[in-house]
A and B are shown apart, each in its own frame.
Chain A
Amino acid sequence: MTASTVDLLYSETEEELRSAVRSLLADRCDPASVLARAETGDPYDPALSRTLGADIGAAGLLVPEKLGGAGAGHREAAVVLEELGRAVAPVPYLTGSVLAVEILLGCDTESPDVAALLREIAGGRRTCVPAVPLTLAPGAPLPRPVHDVGGGRLTGTLTSVADAAAADVLLVLADTGLHVVPAASATLTAAVPLDLTRPLATVTLDAAPGTRLADAATARAALAGALIGAAGLLASEQLGIAEWCLTETVTHLRARHQFNRPVGSFQALKHRLARLWLDVASARAAARAAADALATGAADAPLTVAVAQAHCSGVAVRAAEECVQLHGGIGMTWEHPAHLYLKRAKADSLALGTAGHHRGLVADFAELPAP
């Protein structure tokens, strides 16, 4: 079994993009303000999203230039997601700039409606969120479709839709195909989410007016492909989460003294952190491999994505759990941001397929069948 040649490093352009995103987030998305916004039940900062999407140009990274995008690709979007994960930023990027764009790119981009929507997204002028459960996984059965009750009017209910509250328009997979629906025509019922930084809602459509973008078969294929792309890039968000948790914990253990010694000098703790560092280093390799395979359209991209998801979601959760534990009592407090990372990491481990689901995909791709 051979593997294609992958580029696992970061290019200079990618590092420049990273530092632009990082400094924006340092200014406008520090943990204290993330927490303060999350407490209001409306964690989004539309101005931050606009700057990230339009000014830095992150919204259109996956959109080709002829459709108004940056003509970059998955490697660059992955770097943005690393930084968003590191800041546990409450912006609808994974849903709006990755999953929605991937779905639309799987449709006929010559169609004026599809092209127009992609342009609006790429310009940061419109937030478009797919109305699918966050747990929907590549290779899993698609959700029961919404019904077109006639004249493009859609009726149905979708649960656990992430970032619906931030959306201008929703992408809805109905029995007649893919439709775009103004968010104002849907009823959103906010759920109380485990992850305070990525809100969930139940979306109820009651003869909501939609514009059809693709037929049913195209829509299903587009969504199936988009889920692979989004799952592959989620690994980079998970890497960013894990990195923040490791860095913060190391800093804390070097500064914190107990028993007249820095806590980080105890071998039991050093070994835990060294293992965590190994995990983060390996998660970086796995996430980069997925981003690169998606960017180059490698034949083994679905396998590489499944490997990255099977690995990185566990690493992010482990890093966040270690961060809480090794901060001691401080780690259990509401004031310390560790809990935001734990909640995001745990929710991410369910998003777009669990590690177990992705291992099942590995079994198929690597021809290691179940009994």
Chain B
Amino acid sequence: MTATVMTAEHLLARVRDLLAAHPPATTPRADFLRARFDAGLAWVHFPEGLGGLDAPRALQAVVDAELEAAGAPDNDPRRIGIGLGMAAPTILAYGTDEQKRRFLRPLWLGEEVWCQLFSEPGAGSDLAALATRAVRDEEGGDWVVDGQKVWTSSAHTARWAILIARTDPTLPKHQGITYFLCDMHAPGVEVRPLRQITGEAEFNEVFLTGVRIPDTHRLGAVGQGWAVARTTLMNERVAIGGMRVPREGGMIAPVAATWRERPALRTHALHQRLLELWVEAEVARLTGERLRQQLAAGRPGPEGSGMKLTFARLNQEISALEVELLAEEGLLYEDWTLRRPEIVDFTGRDAGYRYLRAKGNSIEGGTSEILLNIVAERVLGLPTEPRDDKDTPWKDLLR
């Protein structure tokens, strides 16, 4: 195709064509979503034929707003988040043409849910230390995978997983890793709910025993899995930090509402803390807004690395304050029944749940300690700490 520059007007014209041919009011949801994908309006920055039009990524917002205004169904991005936010960009960057054609469409439509088999009990922040093995079967050419993964959201509903496994333990830890697309229905894949501090099982443990993965489901070259995984991880952090909040949105909303509605709970000490956190939440909102304005102006700043750190700390402090504000009610908890939520609800649940769940905010998607290192090294240019694990064969590392 010729390199035409897609403008907002081009895209809006396409949206109108789509809406005319498939009126949302009368078109079944799945049909509309398929037509939207095929019109290149699923993720406009993707290539033509793969749900996109090679348009600037920022224009997706224009398309989404127009479709939403017309009452078009969306693909429920919160429920297919891992596939959408992490698997798709990685498949796009590293997949073969056949892999892109096979996986991207059902992924976007939500017909196939994805999960992420990265973390292990022995490899959390030090993800590259992972021990799950993938060994090439000399006869069939398949890979045979053995190991255990953890913190896997959606594993119990997922059809596919992105998986990293060690393929050469004699190499230093970052070099001997390969990236695979793993069939969650394959024999040897066992998913067990992992009950958490909240009483819920949002996540799973996944046990992999002699799981066979054909070589056609390898993503990127053998031994290049770490580079591929970095693409996935960068997209994960963008997804976690990039949420837009209105003034007094997010976690500060319920505690401010409780303060206004229940004067009997007010104390001077709590008032001071509430005001400090209200100001911090407003400043965090403005910082996020400034980041978005920079991105929109084509001048991305490094602030994105910091937003997740800020929101994690604020969520924890605000929810802690709220439990205390509630006094006797703060001693109670909504429900300890084991449940399997598909999405995390930070505002619709009770304060005790929010307090406990927010503890995960500084751990999931990169611990705050690791993110502080990233800010210090990549934004401020401070030197790395001396480390001896980078050149040592993985098999010789302390575990």
Asked whether B382 lies within 8 Å of A277 as measured between CB atoms, the reply is no
State A360–B272 Cα separation when bound (angstroms).
9
The digit string for A340-371, where 1 denotes a CB below 8 A from any CB of B, is 00000000000000000001101100111111
Which residues on A sit within 8 Å (CB–CB) of B372?
A: 270-271, 274-275
Asked whether A267 lies within 8 Å of B246 as measured between CB atoms, the reply is no
Asked whether B260 lies within 8 Å of A307 as measured between CB atoms, the reply is no
Binds A, one of B57-65, B77-85, B218-226, B274-282: B274-282
The digit string for A264-290, where 1 denotes a CB below 8 A from any CB of B, is 111101110111011001111110110
Asked whether A8 lies within 8 Å of B385 as measured between CB atoms, the reply is no
State A165–B76 Cα separation when bound (angstroms).
65
Asked whether B286 lies within 8 Å of A370 as measured between CB atoms, the reply is no
Asked whether B382 lies within 8 Å of A368 as measured between CB atoms, the reply is no
In the complex, what residue of chain A is closest to B279 when comparing beta carbons?
A310
The digit string for B362-380, where 1 denotes a CB below 8 A from any CB of A, is 0000000100110111011
Q: Does A144 contact B (CB under 8 A)?
A: no
Number of interface residues of B (CB under 8 A): 49
Q: Does A262 contact B (CB under 8 A)?
A: yes
The digit string for A244-261, where 1 denotes a CB below 8 A from any CB of B, is 000000100110000001
Q: Does B386 contact A (CB under 8 A)?
A: yes
Q: Does A168 contact B (CB under 8 A)?
A: no
Which residues on A sit within 8 Å (CB–CB) of B309?
A: 278
Which residues on A sit within 8 Å (CB–CB) of B266?
A: 369-371
Q: Does B384 contact A (CB under 8 A)?
A: yes
Interface residue tally on A, bucketed by range = 35 or more
Which residues on B sit within 8 Å (CB–CB) of A285?
A: 283, 286-287, 289-290
Q: Does B337 contact A (CB under 8 A)?
A: no
Asked whether A265 lies within 8 Å of B383 as measured between CB atoms, the reply is yes
Segment 340-395 of B: residues with Cβ below 8 Å from A = 369, 372-373, 375-377, 379-386
Asked whether B384 lies within 8 Å of A371 as measured between CB atoms, the reply is no
Where the two chains meet, the residues of A that have a C-beta atom closer than 8 Å to any C-beta of B are: 1-3, 6-9, 250, 253-254, 261-262, 264-267, 269-271, 273-275, 277-278, 281-286, 288-289, 307, 310-311, 359-360, 362-363, 366-371
Where the two chains meet, the residues of B that have a C-beta atom closer than 8 Å to any C-beta of A are: 246-248, 256, 259-260, 263, 266-268, 271-272, 274-276, 278-280, 282-287, 289-290, 293-294, 297, 299, 301, 303, 306, 309-310, 369, 372-373, 375-377, 379-386
Report 12 cross-chain contacts, Cβ distance below 8 Å, ordered by A residue.
A1-B247, A6-B289, A8-B286, A264-B382, A265-B382, A269-B382, A311-B280, A362-B275, A368-B256, A368-B275, A370-B271, A371-B271
